[in-house]
Amino acid sequence: MKITSPVFLDNEMIPSKYTCNGDNISPPLRISEVPPSTKSLALINDDPDAPGATWVHWVVWNIDSNTFDIAEDCVMEGAVEGKNTRGDNKYGGPCPPSGTHRYFFKIYALDTLIDLDKSHGKKELEKAMKGHILEKAQLVGLYTQIT
């Protein structure tokens, strides 16, 4: 399984349009080579370089298994957007306090739908996915705060 973006390459800079210095909208993503037995997909976007603890920017589950393109600023029909670290049920773009941070876009192929509502976040999703991950892939984008 693979996850890519038409607007940035793995370990390259995320365009500012998709950050707090731009429109703060989610970037377009492409998913390929999804296992045929996949029932749903889940997406976690986080920043392990945030001070104190990993910052969750976006968490989405029950994405249709036939999804191959996620358009920018997309709300996926039937999918659940969980809580990010800010407490929002939506994408919150990179906005590091200093230096260059890494932003992981992790996609998971699951053998089930996840029975969680939108009041939950990454921790609950990871617990619910245990034993159900068929395959996973990640894309890492970088961003340095504009001063």
For residue 125, which amino acid is it? Answer: L
For residue 110, which amino acid is it? Answer: L
CA distances in angstroms from 7 to 21, 71, 129, listed in the order given: 16, 11, 29
Total of domains in the chain: 1
pLDDT in tens, 33-80: 999 999 999 999 999 999 989 999 999 999 999 999 999 998 888 999
> Do the Cβ atoms of 54 and 44 come closer than 8 Å?
no
pTM passes above 0.75 = yes
CB 89: neighbour CB atoms within 10 A? 15
CATH of the domain at 94: 3.90.280.10
pLDDT in tens, 83-122: 999 999 999 999 999 899 999 999 999 999 999 999 999 9
> Do the Cβ atoms of 62 and 80 come closer than 8 Å?
yes
Range of the domain at 46: 2-144
Predicted local distance difference test score (pLDDT) of residue 146: 75
Give the pairing type, strands 2-4 and 29-32. Answer: antiparallel
Predicted local distance difference test score (pLDDT) of residue 104: 98
